[in-house]
Structure 1
Amino acid sequence: MKIAVVGAAGMVGSRVVNEAASRGHDLIAIVRTTRPTSLPPGVTAVKGDADDPDHMSGLFHGFDAIVAATRPAPGQEHKAVRTTTALLDATATAQARILVVGGAAPLQIPGRPDRLVLDSPEYVPQEWRTLAATSAAQLDACRAHPANWVYLSPPAVLEPGPRTGTYRRGTTTLIASADGTSRISAEDLAVAVLDELETPCEHQHFTVGY
């Protein structure tokens, strides 16, 4: 499979690149300015402007799948929907499939289908609310777009850690343990991304966690 990873220098994108390469896929790592410090053998870093759909559609031409692992800089959260929409436009033009790595905000609270993570201070402290709201808006942008997309909501806590190769998969409800902890390592999130690309499931919005 030919895969293009946008945001390949970031925490999630870099791990998706490593996971995809380990499975033998043909891929490029698309970055805006910062070249990844190290890439697996055979992976090429390409500069790309995620906000330019014409440029990106050219990069995506001939690829089977796109992984959008971009994240707005602090204070630039308002640009996230524009970037997501541009990537959806580019993917549609290239006739590829895109997996958008978003946020947990649009997920429902376990046992409380009337309440979203976005509105739950126990998962989203006030200082994170602007960024969290951005991920909910990203999902709305996907739902309004005709591109072939799938949206992955990570659990509440996503950080570097070991690759166990195991996780639980859900749809629109946050995955949490009995004590309320909701987490996954970025390494295992990358495993879930590649599993979805290789064997697509029926749900356009899904989540994973331990």
Structure 2
Amino acid sequence: MKIAVVAANGRVGRLVVKEAVDRGEDVTAIVRGENKTCAQHVIQKDIMDLTTDDLKDFDVVVDAFGTWEPETLDQHSATIKHLVDILAGTDVRLLIVGGAGSLYMNPEHTVQLIDTPDFPDVFKPLASAQNVTLDFLRGVDNVEWTFVSPAADFQAEGDRTGDYILAGEEFTVNDKGESQISYADYAIAMVDEAERTGTPEAHIRERISVVGK
């Protein structure tokens, strides 16, 4: 399987690359500067400069782009819209590293995690930007996208346990009542989803979520 990872030098991107390479997949890192990953191949380009020709031969493109500065949060939507434009009508899957703020807290799907009283104010701008991205994707029917939300406590330095719970649109906790997952276990879940490509188990045009056990 040929997998491209956009923004591969980021902390999540690097772990997705490593997980895929360790499984024997053919992985290309797409980076703006020097490649800091273990990918076998590299495309050195800004996301906004990527073209259909750059991506058309991949089975899966993983978008690991992320930014946290208030003045750049609109780049979440801009970059996704660009990737959708250049992948439209192709057979290339687009997997997006999403956020937890849009997870629903009730069966009616009227309340999201970002709406709850205990959601930290510091994370609300980022969560709102990611929600806009997901809302946009829900209207896209010419790209095989999947939005993968992590648990609420997304742990950069957490251990790689090799296990996780695959869930859907609603906020989910493990047997300990925790909503947490390490970046490393999230990378496992992302590559698992990539490897479902072409099977009935693939979550096409869906948002899924993952929680550490």
Give the TM-score of the pair, scaled to structure 2: 0.88
2:41 maps to a residue whose letter is: T
Aligned to 1:69: 64
SS in 2 for 1:162: coil
Give 1:35 deviation, angstroms. Answer: 3.0
2:168 maps to a residue whose letter is: T
Counterpart Cα distance in 2 of 1:134 and 1:89: 19
CA RMSD, Structure 1 to Structure 2 (Å): 2.0
Counterpart Cα distance in 1 of 2:25 and 2:19: 9
Is the counterpart of residue 133 in structure 1 residue 128 in structure 2?
yes
Aligned to 1:205: 207
Give 1:148 deviation, angstroms. Answer: 1.0
The count of residues paired between Structure 1 and Structure 2 equals 204
Aligned to 2:4: 4
Candidates 75, 94, 100, aligned match of 1:98? 94
Deviating above 6 A after TM superposition, structure 1's stretches of 4 or more consecutive aligned residues are none
Deviations 1:109-160 (A, max 9, x none): 26784320111242x3112111000111111111122211111011111123
Counterpart Cα distance in 2 of 1:10 and 1:93: 28
Give the TM-score of the pair, scaled to structure 1: 0.89
Candidates 172, 177, 184, aligned match of 1:175? 172
Deviations 1:170-200 (A, max 9, x none): 1001222466531101110011011111125
Give 1:19 deviation, angstroms. Answer: 0.3
The alpha-carbon distance between structure 1 residues 91 and 48, as it changes in their structure 2 partners (threshold 3 A), is same
Give 1:85 deviation, angstroms. Answer: 0.9
Task: Answer whether contact 1:57 1:93 (CA < 8 A) is retained.
Answer: no
Deviations 1:45-94 (A, max 9, x none): 32122123xx3322212110000010024121122111111111222255
Q: Which segment is superposed worse, 59-68 or 173-182?
A: 173-182
Is the counterpart of residue 84 in structure 1 residue 80 in structure 2?
yes
SS in 2 for 1:108: coil
